[in-house]
Every structure is written in C-alpha cells, then in structure tokens.
Structure 1
Amino acid sequence: MEHVGVRELKNSLSRYLKLVKSGKTIRVTERGKTIAKLVPAQDCIPQGIIEMLNKEVATWNGEKPKGMVTLRTVTKEKNISDIVSEDRR
C-alpha cells in the first residue's frame, strides 16, 4: 500500500487518483500518521449491497438514495401553513 503526505496529494491529486482508479489503495498521512485511505469506489460499497445487486434483488442508479415519499392528506380543517409548521417540529 502506497502512502502520500497531504501536501504531495494536493499537488499531484490526478496522479494519485489514477493509481486508485487502477485498484491501488493509498494511505494519506499527516506528519507521519495515517489520517485517511483512498480506496477504489467499489470497495466502499458494503458487501451485502453488492450481493443484492448481483442477485438482481435490488437496483441502484448510483445516485444518493432519496428515501421514502410520504403523502400527506390535506383536510379543510387545517391550512397549509399549519401543516408546514407541524412538519418542522
């Protein structure tokens, strides 16, 4: 595993990103102590999710998950500003 100081990483970011893209892991150091690791993106996805994608149990378009959409029914008893105020609590 290669290591690089913060200043060198900043000055040669493209070079180190190419190494990571090729499959290498880079340790980022600050004053000799490891503060971060740069790893290929596929290594960041939890194994369980990778298995679900491989089995086609789930799909993912690569975007941040949006969560569930909940629909609220509006009644004539409350106006929109009251509903928004309640939602903020």
Structure 2
Amino acid sequence: MKVVGIRELKNRLSEYLRLVRRGEDVLVTDRGAVVAELRRPGTSSVETPYPRLIEWDRDGKARVGAPNRPDLYPEVKPILKGCTVSELLSHERGER
C-alpha cells in the first residue's frame, strides 16, 4: 500500500493510477492525515476471506468470476452436431 500527499498525487497522477490499475491501494494524505483511498473498482477495504485469490486476480494468475447468475453469462451454442463429447473422445482414443 502506497501513501502519497495531495501535491505528489497531482504531479504524478498517471503513475499512481497505473499502480491502482495493477491492484495496489494508494492512501492520499493531507498534512499527514489520510483523506482518501484509491483502489480498483469493486474492491473494498474490508478484509476478504480469500486474500490469495484476490492476489492471483491482481497478478493475472486467475480471474475472479461474476456471481452465479445465469443472466450474466452468454449462452454457449453447441459447436458439434450429431455426437457427444464422450463419443468423440472414444473415437480419438481408439481401442485400448
């Protein structure tokens, strides 16, 4: 977590926004007192029960999904017609 004064933030705003985009939280101070927090949208200062998952999401090693609501996900149309995945696998593997 970075701490920055208002003047420094104004002078180097783009740099601090890049840090926030990468997942770093930035505390903004005015005469030594914290007056604001900059963080990525959707994140909270409340502790999460899954800090490692949040860290992986920030580092690009995993993606945190949307809530389990069907209306948030596009419908996937079947690509194959006339056979099942199991039949395709059996055909690919041949007799063993």
1:55 and 2:68 aligned: yes
Query: 4+ runs of 1 displaced by more than 4 Å?
Result: none
> 2:36 is matched with which residue?
36
- Structure 2, unpaired ranges of 5+: 45-65, 73-96
Aligned to 1:63: none
**Runs of at least 5 residues in structure 1 that lack an aligned partner in the other structure:** 45-52, 60-89
* TM-score (structure 1 length as normaliser): 0.52
State how far apart, in whole Å, the 2-side matches of 1:35 and 1:58 are.
38
Q: CA deviation at 1:57?
A: 6.0
Distance (Å, rounded) in 2 between the aligned partners of 1:26 and 1:57: 35
1:8-47 per-position Cα deviation (integer Å, ceiling 9, x unaligned): 1001100000000000100000000000000111215xxx
Q: Percent identity?
A: 41
SS at match of 2:43: helix
Partner of 1:54, secondary structure, is coil
**Structure 1 residues 3-82: aligned runs within 5 Å:** 3-43=3-43, 53-56=66-69, 59=72
Pair 58,38 (structure 1): closer, same or farther in 2 beyond 3 Å: farther
RMSD across aligned positions (CA)? 2.0
Amino acid at match of 1:13: L
User: What secondary structure, in the 3-state scheme, does the structure 1 residue paired with 2:23 have?
Assistant: coil
Q: CA deviation at 1:54?
A: 1.2
Report how many residues are paired.
52
